[in-house]
Structure 1
Amino acid sequence: MGATQETMHHVGTLDMFMKQIGRIVELNGEQIAVFRDSSDRIYAVENKNPHPKGGPLAEGIVSGHYLYDPLYDWKIDLTTGLVQAPDTGQVKVYEVKVEDGGVWIGA
């Protein structure tokens, strides 16, 4: 079940998110890492590395729909949140909508 209009939160405009660089937004007390790929698609995941030692994800680099985490060089699929083999784990993925230049995240 997708987020309803009441659960979508405006977090800025598309031009506020640099391509291939993460930005942190806070919703309901949670830090969310928001990324814009080279095709202007927006992804949002929890800003919490699934590695046992943890750490932020917003400082990672985006290539296609993958995030390369800055601390452990894990490759994370931004569409599913799944860490790619040989590593394992998953991050929470948030629904994203871009409408009339505005970016909305479901939380």
Structure 2
Amino acid sequence: MKKIAERIKVVKVDEVAKGFGKTIRIGEVEIALFCLNNGSFHAIENRCPHRGGVLVEGLVSGQHVFCPMHDWKIDITTGKVQEPDHGCVKTFDVEVEGDDVYILLY
């Protein structure tokens, strides 16, 4: 049985600069929404799995964000932590329609 997604409009495209992120709060869920330099949007859980660093405050390089607390490198597109560190963060599906950015919650 396929899950139905709740599609939530969160920002306008021009509200997130390329190479940066924005904190999105949906109920109890805190999400880091990033706009990569190629203009694509991706969303991940806003806490590093290591010590809970706020990922949206990290440095974005390519498709990775570096945790501001201990420099863990996390792939924004997959949520996976780069070795030798380990772990992952939850990812969220993102859709862009016109000037609007939506996050899908399942």
| CA deviation string 1:53-78 (max 9, x = no partner) | 22211101222211111111111111
| CA displacement at 1:3 relative to structure 2 | 5.6
Q: Which one of 89, 102, 105 corresponds to residue 103 of structure 2? A: 105
| CA deviation string 1:30-50 (max 9, x = no partner) | 110111111111110111111
Return 5+ residue gaps in structure 2 as ranges: none
Q: Residues 33 and 56 of structure 2 are in contact (CA less than 8 Å); yes or no, is this contact kept in structure 1? A: yes
TM-score by length of 2: 0.90
**Superposition pairs of residues 1-107 of structure 1, within 5 angstroms:** 4=5, 7-51=6-50, 53-107=51-105
**SS, match of residue 20 in structure 2:** coil
**SS, match of residue 22 in structure 1:** strand
* Structure 2: distance between partners of 1:8 and 1:46: 17
**SS, match of residue 23 in structure 2:** strand
| CA displacement at 1:2 relative to structure 2 | 7.3
- After superposing on structure 2, the runs of 4+ consecutive aligned residues of structure 1 that deviate more than 6 Å are none
Q: Residues 94 and 104 of structure 2 are in contact (CA less than 8 Å); yes or no, is this contact kept in structure 1? A: yes
Q: Percent identity?
A: 39
* Structure 2: distance between partners of 1:18 and 1:50: 25
Distance 1:67 1:12, change over 3 A: same
Distance 1:90 1:103, change over 3 A: same
RMSD: 1.4
The code of the aligned residue for 2:57 comes to E
Distance 1:58 1:11, change over 3 A: same
Q: Residues 3 and 95 of structure 1 are in contact (CA less than 8 Å); yes or no, is this contact kept in structure 2? A: no
